Amino acid sequence: MGWEHVSTGDVLRAARRAGTELGRKAQAFMDSGELVPDSVILDLVRDHLKGVPPEAGILLDGFPRTTAQAEGLESVLEAVSRRVDRVVVFQASDDELVKRLAGRRSCPECGAVFNVHFTPSSVEGKCDRCEGKLVQRADDEAETVRRRLVVYGEQTEPLIEWYRRSGARVVPVDAGAPVDEVHKAFRKAVER
């Protein structure tokens, strides 16, 4: 779609791999399934949005996750005469999410992602694309995934109502459906 894709989780993981100060700040929060402090996340997003051309669409992925982040985002966007136009909520049961996340394996070399239940690599533990050794994200261990779901319910879910009240179009997507259907529903949700 040619949009700028800002995934705060991806940016944080890249910072950790590069060993930067941001990565060091985020590490303990991420590994225990807690949220990284709002001020750290808002600085990161502000930085990433600075260079985006005014005509380009922006997809914010995994952000905002708290009311404070949503309020911070309002002022960041206001400064560049933009606003949140669509909010897509991916919905799936907790059991399904635990299965998906705890089964996820990724390749630190090339970034390819597999899943032991749904899309396993041809040789267990080995990347099909570059033969790198597949790893499980520390925060994808089943117990940490459950903690992430509790944090989601407490801190992120209330944002759905927050955005409804603010007048943004909130579009639920059934994320329990097969990949191609979720993809189609997402494209429809963000259509202009």
Name the residues that contact ligand AMP, by CB under 6 A: 8-9, 12, 29-30, 33-36, 41, 62-63, 65, 69, 139, 148
Nearer to ligand AMP, 69 or 121 (CB): 69
How far apart, in whole angstroms, are the C-alpha atoms of residue 116 and residue 134? 11
How far apart, in whole angstroms, are the C-alpha atoms of residue 75 and residue 17? 30
Name the residue number minimizing CB distance to ligand AMP: 9
Nearer to ligand AMP, 35 or 173 (CB): 35
In angstroms, what is the minimal distance from the CB of 183 to ligand AMP?
Answer: 19
In angstroms, what is the minimal distance from the CB of 120 to ligand AMP?
Answer: 21
In angstroms, what is the minimal distance from the CB of 155 to ligand AMP?
Answer: 9
In the chain, alpha helices (H): 8-18, 21-31, 38-50, 67-79, 94-102, 142-151, 158-166, 179-190
* Three-class DSSP category at 91: strand
Nearer to ligand AMP, 22 or 41 (CB): 41
- And the tokens for 179? 């990949």
How far apart, in whole angstroms, are the C-alpha atoms of residue 49 and residue 44? 9
Nearer to ligand AMP, 77 or 126 (CB): 77
